């Protein structure tokens, strides 16, 4: 007999068990090895090759999840310092669950008006909490939309930029000449991927040198590249300003990039995926928000450092028509009276996919639970803990700090070769210990270790444990 659909009562019972599982995971995560150490294929070997012949109880899945733990790296572990944090929080988990529970598909306003209107209001709230310029709020010509990731945001920005640079002809005729894109050599790889996906061609991507290894983009070099391209008959379409590069946290000069974007008629997109949310603490706004008045679009990820479970990217545009005119399609089966009348927002025209989850619920839950002070306190904690770590390293001349930005500290062994092989070896041994998880990058051809704080559970003792571990293993 096939397994029946759960009744609401059955769902309630199983749901309680699943929530209990998550709560007990939260209780024990700090005692687990931070990073998974399974070998490739080890987890797959534990799984049946074929699906079950009949229905299985949900409890069997929860039991299997326990057995899979060796294959999980614990991103919510207090000693997770690799990459950038991917914060989770209770309110966000439940907001996500509620969105699943409603199971609505908010592709157009009419398919669930609340999904659109809560999102618009939540994005306006976030803009206010971050101190973003008014031009990104829905009360003016702009507005915000939740995308899955910063990668999608930069691709969307590129499509809008190409549309505008071609006076709207690109949609009809395709590329009539080379369109060029500019970013720092330290910009995130998602810029290069967007260039590929949009068909611009990697030959048209200018990765501009930085003023120092791992530092911000060299504005004079950008100006030269723009001038050369225009002289050669190419059309500059997009400039990306990185506010908090992934490798080292460097912040490009958005004011200067904005002036160049205006002069050359290019779209300015600000990629503040990790660092942007730190502007909930007003003292970081001069660093993070400078020049945003001249940005055409802006993206930051609440799913990194703002307590909102992956995925949630906040993407803002100054001119929503510039975006929707690049993307809108209007097939008969999606037409509604409200859309035809232009009375509502249809977020399907603001990104690449049609269908969309009610993602705003989890962000709304976070903003409401923590409030401005709670959010700012979380950011300040991360920065203070990173400063504690840096202070500890500075007291030990075997280590050299190369970059320090917000809650990211990059460092290496002082006596190392030109490629940083001993530094990398140290990182490998830290990660194999299971007591902390670090990641790396290279600047100027030399490896550095990246240590990024952000997990809400991280406390001073976890920083001190890491310092002790480094001193022990180095």
Ligand X SMILES: *Cc1c(COP(=O)(O)O)cnc(C)c1O
Site for ligand X in 81-120 (CB under 6 A): 84
State which residue, 109 or 437, has the beta carbon closest to ligand X: 437
| Stretch in the footprint of ligand X (CB under 6 A) among 144-152, 166-174, 260-268, 457-465 | 144-152
Q: Is 273 in the site for ligand X (CB under 6 A)?
A: yes
Ramachandran category for residue 250: left, alpha or beta (phi over 0 → left; psi -120 to 50 → alpha): beta
Q: Is 210 in the site for ligand X (CB under 6 A)?
A: no
Q: Is 198 in the site for ligand X (CB under 6 A)?
A: no
Torsions phi, psi of 39, nearest 5? Answer: -90, 160
9-45 burial code (b ≥16 CB/10 A, e <16): eeeeebeeeeeebeeebeeebbebbbbbeeeeeeeee
Q: Is 158 in the site for ligand X (CB under 6 A)?
A: no
State which residue, 204 or 248, has the beta carbon closest to ligand X: 248
Q: Is 186 in the site for ligand X (CB under 6 A)?
A: no
Residues 6 or more apart in contact with residue 258 via CB below 8 angstroms:
241, 268, 291, 293, 294, 295
Q: Which of 96, 229, 252, 271 binds ligand X (CB under 6 A)?
A: 271
DSSP code of residue 93: H
Q: Which of 123, 127, 150, 408 binds ligand X (CB under 6 A)?
A: 150
- Written as six digits, the tokens of 185 are 């050599």
State which residue, 301 or 423, has the beta carbon closest to ligand X: 301
Q: Which of 151, 210, 402, 458 binds ligand X (CB under 6 A)?
A: 151
State which residue, 435 or 450, has the beta carbon closest to ligand X: 450
| Stretch in the footprint of ligand X (CB under 6 A) among 164-172, 227-235, 240-248, 449-457 | 240-248
Cβ–Cβ under 8 Å, residues 276 and 299: yes
Q: E strands within 138-276? A: 143-147, 179-184, 205-208, 235-242, 267-271
State which residue, 249 or 392, has the beta carbon closest to ligand X: 249
State which residue, 149 or 289, has the beta carbon closest to ligand X: 149
State which residue, 245 or 402, has the beta carbon closest to ligand X: 245
Q: Is 274 in the site for ligand X (CB under 6 A)?
A: yes
C-alpha–C-alpha distance, residues 439 and 97, integer Å:
31
* Smallest distance, ligand X to C-beta of residue 411, A: 19
Beta bridge partners of 236: 180
Q: Is 313 in the site for ligand X (CB under 6 A)?
A: yes
* Smallest distance, ligand X to C-beta of residue 86, A: 9
* Smallest distance, ligand X to C-beta of residue 273, A: 3
Q: E strands within 336-424? A: 399-405, 408-413
Residues 6 or more apart in contact with residue 185 via CB below 8 angstroms:
207, 208, 209, 210, 217
* Smallest distance, ligand X to C-beta of residue 221, A: 20
Cβ–Cβ under 8 Å, residues 268 and 295: yes
Q: Site residues (CB under 6 A) for ligand X? A: 84, 149-151, 188, 190, 242, 244-246, 271, 273-274, 301, 313
């Amino acid at each position: 007999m096939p397994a029946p659909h759960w009744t609401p009562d059955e769902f309630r019972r199983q749901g309680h068990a699943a929530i209990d599982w998550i709560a007990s995971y939260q209780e024990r995560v700090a005692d687990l090895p931070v990073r998974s150490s399974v070998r490739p294929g080890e987890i797959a070997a534990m799984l049946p090759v074929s699906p079950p012949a009949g229905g299985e109880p949900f409890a069997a899945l929860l039991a299997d999840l326990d057995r899979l733990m060796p294959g999980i790296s614990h991103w919510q572990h207090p000693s997770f310092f690799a990459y950038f944090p991917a914060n989770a929080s209770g309110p966000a988990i439940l907001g996500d669950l509620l969105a699943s529970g409603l199971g609505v598909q908010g592709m157009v306003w009419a398919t669930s008006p609340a999904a659109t209107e809560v999102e618009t209001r939540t994005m306006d709230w976030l803009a206010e909490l971050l101190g973003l310029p008014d031009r990104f709020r829905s009360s003016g010509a702009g507005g915000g939309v939740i995308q899955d990731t910063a990668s999608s945001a930069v691709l969307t920005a590129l499509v809008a930029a190409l549309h505008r640079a071609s006076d709207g002809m690109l949609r009809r005729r395709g590329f009539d000449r080379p369109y060029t894109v500019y970013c720092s050599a330290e910009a995130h790889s998602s810029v290069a991927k967007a260039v590929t996906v949009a068909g611009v061609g990697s030959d048209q991507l200018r990765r501009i040198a930085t003023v120092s290894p791992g530092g911000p983009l060299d504005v004079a070099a950008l100006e030269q590249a723009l001038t050369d391209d225009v002289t050669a008959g190419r059309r500059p379409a997009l400039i990306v300003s990185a506010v908090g590069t992934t490798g080292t946290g460097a912040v490009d000069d958005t004011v200067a990039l904005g002036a160049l974007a205006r002069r050359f008629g290019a779209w300015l997109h600000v990629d503040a995926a990790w660092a942007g949310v730190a502007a909930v603490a007003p003292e970081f706004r001069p660093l993070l928000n400078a020049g945003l008045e001249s940005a055409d679009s802006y993206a930051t990820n609440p799913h990194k450092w703002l307590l909102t479970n992956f995925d949630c990217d906040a993407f803002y545009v100054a001119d929503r028509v510039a975006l929707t005119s690049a993307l809108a399609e209007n097939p008969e089966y999606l037409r509604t009276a409200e859309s035809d009348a232009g009375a509502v927002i249809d977020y399907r025209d603001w990104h690449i996919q049609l269908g969309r989850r009610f993602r705003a619920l989890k962000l709304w839950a976070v903003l409401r639970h923590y409030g401005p002070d709670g959010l700012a306190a979380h950011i300040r904690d991360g920065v203070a803990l990173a400063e504690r770590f840096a202070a500890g390293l500075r007291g030990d001349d075997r280590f050299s700090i190369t970059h320090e930005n917000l809650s990211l500290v990059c460092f290496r062994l002082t006596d190392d070769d030109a490629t940083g092989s001993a530094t990398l070896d140290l990182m490998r041994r830290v990660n194999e210990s299971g007591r902390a998880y670090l990641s790396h990058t290279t600047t100027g051809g030399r490896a550095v270790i990246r240590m990024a704080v952000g997990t809400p559970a991280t406390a001073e003792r976890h920083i001190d444990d890491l310092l002790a571990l480094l001193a022990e293993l180095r």
